[in-house]
Structures are given as structure tokens and as C-alpha cells.
Amino acid sequence: MTAVRNIQVKLDIPEEHHPVVDATFDEFRRVTEPVIDYGWNDNPDDIITSKNRLNDATYHDIREDSPLTGGHVQSARNLAATALSNCKDLLEDGKNTSKPEFKGTVVTYNSNTITYNDDHCTLSTVDGRIRAEYVFPHGDEGTPFEAYWNEDEWEKREATLHKRDGEYYLHVAVEHVEDTDSSDEKTENGVVLGVDLNVDGYLAVTSTGAFLGNADELNHKRDEYERRRGHLQQTGTRSAHLTLQSIGDRFAEWSRHRLHDVSNGIVREARENGCTHIAFERLKYIWTRISNASKFQQWAFREIQRQVEYKAEEYGIEVDTVAPQYTSQRCSHGKCGFTHEDNRDGDEFECLKCAKELHADYNAARNVAWRLVQNWLTSGSGRATSQLALKSGTVNANGRFRPAALSS
Ligand SMILES: [Zn+2]
């Protein structure tokens, strides 16, 4: 059993920020609509209440045209899912109800969209973050506020922002920390999935040894499309123009689908290995290394990272990027770390020092994960047991090994 209490605190939001906060209420309400539309059915058996299904069907499009953060889009989705579920229950009980519709002014906040500080919080809006001071009640002795607000054993979690009579109020759920050990551990321990992206061979290779997507097929289809496009452009007739448009759309859809397979695979690997983070190489560095990458390949890499970002967010997995110094030349085996350009020969990696042989992209992916952990260690970010997720288990920052079965 988790002990949760709700407390209300009034906020002092500077006048100049009222318009963006009010616009956030409107936008939050607006983005529940496509979710409701998708999930609703007059037959209660066909009402969709699964957050995952609702998310898969709507998140991408909503995120595309809404100024809300991904965290807010997901909170709105959760709210819509709950409303749909309530309606389904009512209808199944033979009670009368209609498609849910949100009115009023409320926005849900979670750890991605609100940060609590001692005397103020910062809140995501449709236009960046704003700062809001708490207006502490006078004479709060013996009130729930005094008992829960400043006490270390109560942690602030989700909140809802409300507007009443022109004033803003935050309703904050506080949770007793004794009950929350497992989630605390998750934020202190980092487990990293490293990902190596490639313009040929496998599109993505993870530090857990998953080989995903076919870059050669993507390139081949792209060339084919370019050829047909060139030909049609020369023809120049109206019908050629229409064909051009339709094969363009079809190719875009086809390639986006292939990339979704890859991004789904990456997120699945991260989840199955209990990862808190996914690390990619920073794209601008990749383009220095692969100087002949086409605009299309650059788009594909950006698209994969973008897709992984919003899909991972749903599971509370963060995406980070690292500078890829020597990721392809460094030996990722155990504590070896020997770095030399002759270690790599095409797809083959063979360490000149310890003689370990690895698939070159798999070795690179392990190094990408390793690099993020190194960044944490040097920045003193305080993760006690940072780990890299590898095929055979996880390796902590000191190179100590834990078998996969124990690593989650
Ligand atoms: Zn080695």
C-alpha cells in the first residue's frame, strides 16, 4: 500500500505569464480530443481504454502539431484513458452516458513537466517553462499543509494545476518515501543502452547485441525512387507530376515504417534490459565521420532518434547523446579499453592488445553506452551504480560484471 495525500498550494504566477498558462489549459484540453475520438465507441465493448493502444494511435500526430511537451501530451492521454474507462464502466452497468468531453481549467503535471523547489516550482507550458512562487498559508499549524509540505518523508509527485476566480492553485500528491524505494533506486542507478547507427549494413546495433533494420535496403529503395523521380520530372506532364507525388508519399510512408521498426526495437531492448537511459552518438559528429552521408541518411538518423525519444519517454527512459570519440576504435571488452585505428577492419573488430573479436558495430554501441557512463562519472552526477546494458548482462562503471538475470 502506498500512502498518498493531496495538498493544495496557491501559486503566485507573474501577470505576464498568465496568457501562456491559460493557453496551456486550452491546449491540454484540446489534445485530449483526438484520444477520446479514437477510443470512443457507442458500443461499450469497443471502447478502447488501453493507454498503450491509445498512445500508439495518437501520440505521434498530436506531438507533431502541439506546442505541449511530450510529458503533457502523455498526461492528457492518461486523463482521456481514465475518462474512457469510466464511461465504459457506466455503460456496462446499464447507465446512460455519452462520449467524454473535458471542460474546465486543469492541467496534469508529472516529474517531466514540473520541478519542485523550496519556495517555488517551475512548470512546463505551451511556451517553455515558467516560474511560480508558492503562496504559503498563514498560520498553517496543524493543517495538512504543515504536516506534508516540508517534511522529508513525504515526496511531491504528480500535481494538477487549476484556475479559480483568476487565481492559480496547485494540487500536489505527496507520497510517503518508505513506500517508494523502488522508484528512488531507478533514478539513482543509471543503466545505459548504447546505440550505434550506420549508413550501411544494420541501421542500428545496440550494446545488448540487437541488430536492427537494413540500411542497404533503405538506400536501395531510395535510389530506385530517385531514378523514377528523375525520369518523371523529365516527362513533365501533369499525370507524371501526380504520379511523382504519389510515389513520393508512398516512399516516405514506407521508409518511416522501416524506421519505426528500428525505433521500436531499440526501446524494446531498453525495456527488456531495465535501462534508464538510451545513448546515441551526437549527430553532428557522425556527419564529420561519415562525410558522404546523403540528406536522406541524415534524415533517417534524425528520425530514428526522434522516434526513440518520444517512445522511450512513455516508459520514463531518457535519451542522451555523447560525443563519439574513438567509439569504433576502442576495445569495449572488459576493462581493456585499448584504442587504435587498426583495431577495426570493416565489420570486424579485433583488439590488437587483448585479441578480443567483436562485430565492429556492436563494439561501437558498447562504447557509446560506456561513454555516457564516463560522462556521468566525470560530471559527478551521483549515480551510485551506473551500468552499461550488454548482451550478457550489465557491467558497472568499474567493469564489474553482473549476469543478465540479476541486472533488472
Ligand atoms: Zn582489448
Percent of the chain with pLDDT over 70: 87
- Residue 343 buriedness (CB in 10 A; 0-12 / 13-18 / 19+): buried
| Contacts (Cβ under 8 Å, ≥6 apart) of 46 | none
The CA 280 to ligand 1 mean position distance, Å, reads 22
Question: What pLDDT, on the 0 to 100 scale, is given for residue 390?
Answer: 65
| β-strand partners of 132 | 121
The CA 283 to ligand 1 mean position distance, Å, reads 27
The CA 330 to ligand 1 mean position distance, Å, reads 8
| β-strand partners of 7 | 172
Q: Where are the beta strands (DSSP E) in 141-276?
A: 154-164, 167-176, 191-197, 202-206, 211-214
Residue 96: how many CB atoms within 10 A of its CB?
A: 6
Cα gap 37→183, rounded to integer Å: 33
Q: Residues spanned by CATH 3.30.420 within the chain?
A: 189-215+259-406
| Contacts (Cβ under 8 Å, ≥6 apart) of 312 | 267, 270, 278, 318, 319
Cα gap 271→191, rounded to integer Å: 11
Which residues fall inside 5 Å of ion ligand 1, going by CB? 331, 333, 336, 338, 351, 353-354, 356
The CA 356 to ligand 1 mean position distance, Å, reads 6
267-306 burial, b for 16+ CB within 10 Å, e for fewer?
A: bebbbebbbbbbbbbeeeebeeebeebeebbeebbebbbe
Quickly name the fold that domain 189-215+259-406 has.
Nucleotidyltransferase; domain 5 (3.30.420)
Categorize the per-residue pLDDT at 240 as very low, low, confident or very high, splitting at 50, 70 and 90: confident
The CA 334 to ligand 1 mean position distance, Å, reads 8
pLDDT, tens digit (0-9, with 9 covering 90-100), for 37-63: 999 998 988 999 888 889 889 998 998
The CA 189 to ligand 1 mean position distance, Å, reads 27
More confident residue, 7 or 11: 11
Q: Report whether pLDDT(142) > 90.
A: no
Question: What pLDDT, on the 0 to 100 scale, is given for residue 283?
Answer: 84
Q: Report whether pLDDT(357) > 80.
A: yes
User: 333 with 358: CB under 8 angstroms?
Assistant: yes
- Arithmetic mean of pLDDT over the chain: 84
The CA 343 to ligand 1 mean position distance, Å, reads 9
The CA 363 to ligand 1 mean position distance, Å, reads 11
Question: What pLDDT, on the 0 to 100 scale, is given for residue 392?
Answer: 54
The CA 131 to ligand 1 mean position distance, Å, reads 50
The CA 348 to ligand 1 mean position distance, Å, reads 13
Cα gap 197→215, rounded to integer Å: 9
The CA 56 to ligand 1 mean position distance, Å, reads 42
pLDDT, tens digit (0-9, with 9 covering 90-100), for 305-330: 999 998 998 888 999 999 877 888 99
In terms of phi and psi (left: phi > 0; alpha: psi -120 to 50; beta: otherwise), the region of 6 is beta
How much of the chain is helix, strand and coil, in % rounded to 5? Answer: 45, 25, 30
Cα gap 167→174, rounded to integer Å: 22
C-alpha cell at 155: 515526496
The CA 357 to ligand 1 mean position distance, Å, reads 9
User: 286 with 324: CB under 8 angstroms?
Assistant: yes
User: 134 with 169: CB under 8 angstroms?
Assistant: no
Q: Which residue has the cell 560530471?
A: 379
Phi, psi for 139 (deg, rounded to 5):
55, 55
